């Protein structure tokens, strides 16, 4: 995090401001939803107003679930790495198309987040564009890695992020990966 918690200046900050204004989160959604007592939050893409507030909200690590094109357009991944440090930010670059998601796109980020939560002082934000589908999928994977049942994980996510929707293909992607992972 920068010493003041403020956004850096320069072209990336300008592009982030413009990009999230044109292609940002739904303003009807809460800017951050903590998922029960898990020290795990789900949100839409952090805007220039939200990004500096993450540190004060207790966020220590970030998983960005937006596609490479999306992060290039709005520069959110670059700013997150600059604010938190590259070793505290993971990418799970996916499009939100409702199809099965291959593990090479998201599994390392889910494992990163689960490992981060082993430290009781850490709190992680998982976000996508709107904080409804891709971030919910990765948060679901994290909860499953941390021992939650499928039903418990879905219930926990939807109870704390009311507009969360775990797409059946996304849930199946996680469950298939967990089966191959445990072999």
For 92-115, write each residue's pLDDT tens digit.
Answer: 999 999 999 999 999 999 999 999
d(CA 30, CA 41): 11
**Domain around 131:** 11-181
Task: For residue 2, tell me if it sits in a domain.
Answer: no
Query: Given CA atoms 96, 98, 101, 107 in this order, what sign does their dihedral have?
Result: positive
d(CA 67, CA 17): 18
Task: For residue 65, tell me if it sits in a domain.
Answer: yes
| Number of structural domains the chain divides into | 1
Residue 1 has pLDDT above 70, yes or no: no
Question: What is the SS3 assignment for 79?
Answer: helix
pLDDT at 106 (0 to 100): 99
Task: For residue 20, tell me if it sits in a domain.
Answer: yes
Task: For residue 161, tell me if it sits in a domain.
Answer: yes
The CATH number covering residue 23 comes to 3.90.190.10
pLDDT confidence bin for 155, thresholds 50/70/90: very high
Task: For residue 56, tell me if it sits in a domain.
Answer: yes
d(CA 139, CA 132): 11
Task: For residue 41, tell me if it sits in a domain.
Answer: yes
pLDDT confidence bin for 29, thresholds 50/70/90: confident
d(CA 118, CA 127): 20
């Amino acid at each position: 995090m920068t010493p003041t918690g403020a956004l850096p200046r320069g072209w990336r900050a300008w592009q982030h401001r413009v990009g999230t204004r044109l292609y940002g989160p739904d303003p009807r959604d809460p800017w951050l939803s903590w998922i029960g007592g898990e020290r795990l939050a789900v949100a839409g893409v952090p805007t220039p107003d939200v990004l500096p507030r993450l540190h004060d909200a207790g966020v220590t690590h970030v998983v960005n679930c937006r596609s490479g094109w999306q992060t290039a357009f709005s520069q959110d991944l670059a700013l997150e790495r600059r604010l938190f440090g590259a070793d505290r930010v993971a990418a799970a670059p996916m499009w939100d198309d409702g199809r099965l998601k291959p593990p090479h796109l998201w599994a390392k980020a889910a494992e990163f987040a689960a490992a981060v939560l082993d430290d009781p002082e850490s709190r992680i934000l998982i976000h996508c564009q709107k904080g409804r589908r891709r971030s919910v999928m990765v948060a679901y994977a994290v909860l499953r890695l941390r021992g939650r049942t499928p039903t418990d994980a879905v219930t926990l996510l939807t109870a704390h992020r009311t507009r969360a929707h775990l797409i059946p293909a996304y849930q199946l992607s996680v469950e298939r990966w967990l089966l191959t992972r445990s072999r």
